[in-house]
Amino acid sequence: MGGSLVDTFARLAAEHASATGDSRNLVVVGLAGRGIQSSRSPVMHEREARRLGMRYSYLLLDFDELDLADDAIGEVVAAARAAGFQGLNVTHPFKQAVIPLLDELSSEARAIGAVNTIVFGSDSTGHNTDSWGFAESFRDTMTGASTETVTMFGAGGAGAAVAHALMELGAARVIVVDSDAAKAISLAARMHAAFPGRVEASSDPLSAVSAANGIVNTTPVGMEKYPGTPFDATLLTPEKWVADIVYFPAETELLRKASATGCRTLPGIGMAIYQAVRAFELFTGRKADRRAMADHFEAAA
């Protein structure tokens, strides 16, 4: 483990504590990922903690800003734990890479094969709050939307979580498309163990979109750093619904084109808020208020 990272993380936590008061009873957590400077997680978590009378620091461990290679993720997790963090959120591209680094997995994280929340205690335990977050957002916003056939773009960690959520939402058929066909096949095979015959891989975006009642983008395409759409949006027709888990910008190019076509749309904001609710509760053991967290999210805009 690099002592320099432990020192860096401990210093960041101390600086944050000194800016807000003493460090007694301070909960320190962080987000590990790339290109995460626009994340609203710090504001959501810290404001909810303040509302509950807690002292809480949420730090961004941005591999781009820290000039770290992807293979440093193990060192980052170990350093955060050694520096006294209570846990970490994990985002692209590390949701699957962290699994071998952990002592335990929750049943949901094990089924999904991806982790977005790590809690440090006597052991390091990986959880997945993305799946619940997507499902809750869908239930809130997409009443009556058909989940008979859903095409999902992306077979990474977020895609695995959304596929699991779609199963829980009752999807009869999920078609997975990824630029890496092997990843799509692997995800479909993994989901088959728990949900036989309901998830399949496809290398034909045109037919996959055509067959779908709804489409979900779980790739980074649409983020400011990755502009564009994950497939040709001219393939959309008004009777389809379109969801995007990207939440910054709130309206991605895909959602904008889908709305212009007449499709119902589900932005990534709801999933971002709901997954944060569950993660906050795992970090603190305290109940978070969903409506308050949504207000915190908007305040961070």
- pLDDT category at 19 given cuts 50, 70, 90 is low
Q: State the average pLDDT over residues 228-236.
A: 98
- Of 64-68, 181-185, 247-251, minimum mean pLDDT range: 247-251
Same-domain status, 122 and 137:
no
CATH number at residue 173: 3.40.50.720
Categorize the per-residue pLDDT at 206 as very low, low, confident or very high, splitting at 50, 70 and 90. Answer: very high
Beta sheet of 173-177, edge-to-edge order: 199-202, 173-177, 149-153, 214-217, 241-244, 264-266
Residue 25 tokens read as 């009873």
Of the candidates 77, 234, 95, 243, which has an alpha carbon nearest to the alpha carbon of residue 160?
95
Q: How confident is the model at residue 91 (pLDDT cuts 50, 70, 90)?
A: very high
**Annotated active-site positions, please?**
95
Whether residues 241 and 288 share a domain: the answer is no
77 and 42: one domain? yes
Domain that holds residue 216: 131-267
| Per-residue pLDDT, 21 | 63
> CATH number of the domain that 19 lies in?
3.40.50.10860
Start-to-end C-alpha separation, the chain: 36
Are both 135 and 263 inside the same structural domain?
A: yes
* Model confidence at 7: pLDDT above 70: yes
One domain, residues 148 and 189: yes
pLDDT at site 1? 44
State the total domains in the chain.
Answer: 2
Same-domain status, 171 and 201: yes
Residues in a beta bridge with 246: none
Residues counted in the chain: 301
Contact 164, 115 (CB under 8 A): no
Question: Of 77, 81, 89, which is closest to residue 114 (Cα–Cα)?
Answer: 89
The two three-digit tokens of residue 231, written as one number: 């497939």
Give the chain's mean pLDDT. Answer: 95
Same domain, yes or no, for 230 and 289?
Answer: no
The verdict on 260 and 289 lying in the same domain is no
As a whole number, mean pLDDT of residues 186-203 equals 96
Taking the C-alpha atoms of residue 197 and residue 173, their distance in angstroms, rounded to an integer, is 8
Task: Give the residue-averaged pLDDT of 193-198.
Answer: 95
Q: What is the pLDDT of residue 255?
A: 99
Average pLDDT over residues 54-81: 97
Are 196 and 261 contained in the same domain? Answer: yes
CB atoms within 10 A of CB 114: 29
Query: Both 211 and 222 in a single domain?
Result: yes
Check whether residue 7 and residue 123 sit in a common domain: yes
Band of the pLDDT at 3, cuts 50, 70, 90? low
291 and 263 share one domain: no
